[in-house]
Amino acid sequence: MLAFEVAEYKERIRKVKESMSEKGIDVLLITDPANMNYLTGYDGWSFYVHQMLILMMDAEEPIWVGRGQDGNGAKMTTWLKDENIMSYTDDYIQSLTKHPMEFVAGIVKEKGKGNQVIGVEMEAYYFTAKCFERLQASLPNATLKDATLLINWVRVIKSEQEIAYIRKATRIVEKAMQVAVDSLGSGIRECDVAANIFHAQISGTEEYGGDYCSIIPLIPSGERTRSAHLSWDTDRRYEKGDQVNLELAACYKRYHSPLARTAIVGKPADRLIAISETVIEGIGNALAAVKPGLICEEVEEVWRKTIAKSGFIKDSRIGYSMGLNYPPDWGEHTASFRPGDKTVLKPNMTFHMIPGIWMDDIGFEVSQTFRVTGNGCEIFSDFPRKLFVKD
């Protein structure tokens, strides 16, 4: 059931330990579910309770720590020896008197690491302020050190197998986007289009199915397109003139391929056509510029210079590194295409470039997922890059 050869997981651990060593970290406590999966294969919707990997410099395998009823899941989905699956009893769950981090600290101390330098992911979604407080209190002789993104940076360059999964996800997202465009129309319920998209994302292709995505389909319509991150309205039907933003992805073995397009039900206004042409020219130029050795902010600069003449303004980043992930985000929180980001592009980095513009009256977005190659980039999907008009 493992998505990768054990050797690949071990190579990842080697790289992570290299980074730990550079940073003077003896023990790494890993909360980010994507990072847990990256090193062990662990896969379950259990991140809503506290869980963790303990990676000690001098141990070959990490230790998985989680809730009792998820221990079997860890045994089934990881390559770890059973002795490295340690689960806590259910009275730790949402308790006012006990905290799972006390259980984690107990293991750290038992392993003789209670006085060492311990890395924690201070900014990982599920590493709450309380987690840190309980670890501090339970490990008074340890030095806790911020190790946010340590593993995420190792994840930035993908293996051939990881790229293969993103390509498989791409085949699914193309189907889902086509279903979305085909389903749209005046008088159609927004929820029915959303339902069709979900169906396509999960039923996948004839050869393989899809996983759940880390973000739901974001398909706002009408005035709701003026904001990012809104979605369908459960009670509304599309009306003539509605613009619909379609920001979707598909996922395979937890690897994502996002894809965004914009559609209009009815005739597009001149202003929408103008924005769409600007954005499509901008993304085209930015993608054409991508090559190893360039730095991230230079990619953004190509975009910014292209759209400057149009008068439209985009004040947010136009893309980010992505791949393996769990809700609530498919982004990796590492490299971004924005001013100030000095990350050097290297082969097999994978990005979602999404230069959406949202004005107060109108918005337009288009995106492509790609990998950096030896001399440029491979754009995963050739789904038409245009404004979709459903008249």
Hey, which residues between 59 and 118 contact its own copies (CB under 8 A)? 67-73, 76-77, 89-91, 93-94
- Is position 234 an interface residue for its own copies (rule: CB under 8 A)? yes
User: Smallest gap, in angstroms, from Cβ of residue 236 to its own copies?
Assistant: 9
The residue among 13 and 117 lying less far from its own copies, judged by its C-beta, is 117
Interface with its own copies in residues 292-331 (CB under 8 A): 315-317, 327-329, 331
Do the strands 255-265 and 387-390 form a parallel or antiparallel pair, or are they unpaired? parallel
Compose the 240-269 pattern: x for residues touching its own copies by CB under 8 A, - for all others: ------------xx----------------
Do the strands 63-67 and 27-30 form a parallel or antiparallel pair, or are they unpaired? unpaired
The residue among 198 and 364 lying less far from its own copies, judged by its C-beta, is 198
The residue among 261 and 338 lying less far from its own copies, judged by its C-beta, is 338
Interface with its own copies in residues 272-291 (CB under 8 A): none
Q: Which of 19, 128, 186, 348 binds its own copies (CB under 8 A)?
A: 128
Task: State the Cα–Cα distance between residues 89 and 69, nearest whole angstrom.
Answer: 9
The residue among 35 and 201 lying less far from its own copies, judged by its C-beta, is 201
Distance from the first to the final alpha carbon of the chain: 46
Contact 339, 297 (CB under 8 A): yes
The residue among 13 and 99 lying less far from its own copies, judged by its C-beta, is 99
User: Smallest gap, in angstroms, from Cβ of residue 374 to its own copies?
Assistant: 28
> What is residue 343's DSSP assignment?
P
Contact 93, 49 (CB under 8 A): yes
Interface with its own copies in residues 327-386 (CB under 8 A): 327-329, 331, 333, 336, 338, 340, 358, 360
Interface with its own copies in residues 17-36 (CB under 8 A): none
Q: What secondary structure, in 3-state letters, does 135-174 show?
A: HHHHCCCCEEEECCCHHHHHHCECCHHHHHHHHHHHHHHH
Task: State the Cα–Cα distance between residues 55 and 161, nearest whole angstrom.
Answer: 24
Interface with its own copies in residues 144-163 (CB under 8 A): 146, 148
Q: What would the two tokens of residue 79 be?
A: 């390559």
The residue among 167 and 291 lying less far from its own copies, judged by its C-beta, is 167
Q: Which stretch binds its own copies (CB under 8 A): 15-23, 40-48, 156-164, 379-387?
A: 40-48
Prior bond to 217 cis, omega within 30?
no
366-to-72, 228, 230, 361 alpha-carbon distances in Å: 42, 13, 16, 18
The residue among 189 and 291 lying less far from its own copies, judged by its C-beta, is 189
Q: What would the two tokens of residue 330 be?
A: 């498919």
Q: Which of 61, 174, 211, 300 binds its own copies (CB under 8 A)?
A: 211
Interface with its own copies in residues 177-196 (CB under 8 A): 189-192, 194-196
The residue among 62 and 100 lying less far from its own copies, judged by its C-beta, is 100
Q: Which of 7, 22, 48, 110 binds its own copies (CB under 8 A)?
A: 48
Determine the size of the site formed for its own copies (CB under 8 A): 85
Residue entry with tokens 């592009």: 345
**Taking Cα atoms as reference points, which of 328, 343, 336 lies closest to residue 256?**
328
- What's the half-sphere exposure (Cβ side, CA atoms, 13 Å) at 209? 6
